A = this chain, B = another copy of it.
Amino acid sequence: MLVSMGHISPAVYSVLSEFGYVQEEDVYLEFRQAGSSFTGHVERCVPGVEWNTGNLGQGLSAGAGMALGLQLKKNPARVAVLMGDGEQQKGQIAEARRFAVKYELSNLFGIVDRNHLQIGGSTNQVMPQAIRADYIASRWNVLYVEDGNDFEQVFQALKKVYRHEVDDPTVPSVIVARTVMGKGVSFMENKAKYHGSTLKDDEAARALEELGVENPIPSLREKRSTRKIFQSHFCAPQAYPRIEVGEPRTYGPDERTDNRSAYGAVLEDLARLNNMGEIPKVLGFSCDLEGSVKMQGFHRLSENAFFEAGIQEHHCATLAGAVSKEDFAAFFSTFGVFGVCETYNQHRLNDINETQLKLVCTHVGLDVGEDGQTHQCIDYLSLLQNLYGFSLFMPADPNQTDRVIRHIAENPGNFFVGMGRSKMSPILDEAGAPAFGGAYKFVPGKADWLRRGTHGAILSYGSVLHYAVQAREELAQKHGLQLAVLNFASIKPLDAAAIAEAAKTGLLITAEDHHVDTGLGARVSNVLTDEGTPCRLIRLGVKKYGLSGKPSDLYHSEGIDTEGIVKAVLNAKEKRWLKI
């Protein structure tokens, strides 16, 4: 059971107390008090609540995720999603409907509280909608309850749904129940103003009298004023399945490939190691970009564990988040602009729900090239930095990608891994061997010292890193300057100690395929000022919406290629910022 319109929390707590999940008085005394479980919108810290809600329109997607998880686990349980009628306006619900039919989620059903009112007034005035027609057009079974305040009528409809006595038992059903808001209180019935406003004391007394209920307010009010929070806001940590991640692959110095192909190769390993039994453990989700994000191999090996959600990113983001709480390692992959910019708020709700999502986005940055500005995601770190529970990783090359992906498959939590589009040769260490191959192990929160140097340090990651290494070599060979190069594959957590050590050189240059003010440069700036470290910082990055052209041309125009980095260091030298 999932309550999509989380603002009906008092009703939810009331039912839960009726069934002994919570104590009625606790609710009265702690409702919407800072620190209590009994929050304004329902949250999982209340026993019986399975998904935090509040942002309307996401509930059906989350319910679809739970239903999908149960089906995969051969668990016969059903998933009910209680929804408002106003929220049916949200487009994400149309997406969820389509997905649920495609994947025959007959263990999912919805109940729409059709009271014809939303906060702004009559649903017909705010936004006319044909709820039943929409569900029918999507091929759902639709059951209509004429008097949704009559429990017997609702019960009969529920019985039909539970017994699959519907037109098409292979697809989900929705019960549209015509209700009267404020039922039984003469002055509240069908009044939109009571959607979100509380009653005055005398109104409440009158309402309770009409309902034939004793008025507990006077006695509760005093108790509430002195109450210390007892039902404190705490959610038990989530279990996570044991995932076999196998042995990392190493790409040799001459093996030119892209990070997303390395990602695809690890997914194939994961499928082989975890999905050959009856119940797969690693799941893949994509939005019409299976080929571009390199999930075909996984799909081929593990047909029952791959889900194509179509061009429906909002739904897919929520769905994958919800599935990730059902004992699966769930990988959701699409381009950065769809997986981050378009679906930020869905991931925010995922994070609030402490999902365990593996969000792996390809085609981030100007590196997407010719597709142009609408497709160039240059704010991925900036946006996701706000999600407290997410770790953010940007592997530098196929070897590091391999190890980062195995790391996130093995570990619980929400992860973002970003990668560009272009092919590249592996990053090499000073001896000419792959820097991230062989026994190298990825450790979150640890930067990689690729080169040492005393005249400054270049801090980079992802697609720009190899330009940073080239710039370092050119500065050494042509200008006699020895700069360190650090790779920040782990952006969050961030290696503040490495930044402090690099800052001892007196000059840091950050170079990134990201908005210049909001990516690694900004994080490094925070670290320097937090510690009061005296060190010059030059931030190189993207300073305007990109053009449509070859990535190398775009990098050049933004000064984040070899030439741009060299130039920045020589400028700094001219300003006498280098300790020489």
Contact = CB atoms under 8 A, between A and B. Distances in A.
Contacts of A496: none
B529 A528 contact: yes
Q: Which of A41, A55, A374, A386 has the most CB of B within 10 A?
A: A374
A91 B87 contact: no
Nearest to A53: B374
Nearest to A375: B54
A547 B289 contact: no
A32 interface: yes
A100 to B, nearest CB: 11
Nearest to A546: B34
B530 A537 contact: yes
Contact of A311 (B102, B118, B233, B371): B118
Contact of A40 (B56, B90, B125, B548): B548
A98 B89 contact: yes
B371 A40 contact: yes
A521 to B, nearest CB: 8
Q: Considering residues A32, A309, A310, A532, which has the most beta carbons from chain B within 10 angstroms of its beta carbon?
A: A310
Given A34-B547, A128-B102, A522 B526 contact: yes
Contacts of A211: none
Contact of A534 (B345, B524, B534): B534
Interface in A543-577: 544-545, 547-550, 553-554, 557, 577
A544 B375 contact: no
A130 interface: yes
B382 A289 contact: no
A252 interface: no
A383 B382 contact: yes
A230 interface: no
B288 A119 contact: yes
B518 A386 contact: yes
B312 A90 contact: yes
A344 interface: yes
Contacts of A326: none
A374 B35 CA distance: 15
Given A344-B383, A529-B529, A87 B311 contact: yes
A373 B52 contact: yes
A9 to B, nearest CB: 9
Interface string A25-58: 0000000111110111101000000001111110
Contacts of A102: 127-128
Contacts of A7: 371
Interface in A193-240: 233
A153 interface: no
Contacts of A534: 532, 534
Given A118-B311, A139-B130, A91 B89 contact: no
Contacts of A344: 341, 344-345, 383
Interface string A49-72: 000111111000000000000000
B41 A375 contact: yes
A291 interface: yes
Contacts of A289: 119-120
Contacts of A548: 32-34, 36, 38-41, 43
B35 A545 contact: no
A504 interface: no
Given A86-B288, A118-B288, A371-B41, A526 B517 contact: yes
A130 B119 contact: no
Given A91-B90, A352-B374, A547-B34, A385 B309 contact: no
A515 B93 CA distance: 30
Contacts of A129: 98, 310
A511 to B, nearest CB: 15
8 contacts: A34-B553, A35-B553, A40-B371, A55-B337, A90-B95, A91-B95, A522-B522, A530-B539
Given A41-B374, A351-B545, 19 more contacts: A40-B548, A55-B338, A89-B311, A91-B315, A101-B128, A125-B308, A127-B311, A130-B139, A337-B345, A341-B348, A342-B345, A352-B374, A378-B386, A382-B518, A386-B518, A524-B529, A530-B537, A532-B537, A532-B577
Interface of A: 6-7, 32-36, 38-41, 43, 52-57, 86-87, 89-95, 98-99, 101-102, 118-120, 125-130, 133-134, 136-139, 233, 286, 288-292, 308-312, 314-315, 337-338, 341-342, 344-345, 348-349, 351-352, 370-375, 378-379, 382-383, 385-386, 388, 515, 517-518, 521-526, 528-530, 532, 534-537, 539, 544-545, 547-550, 553-554, 557, 577
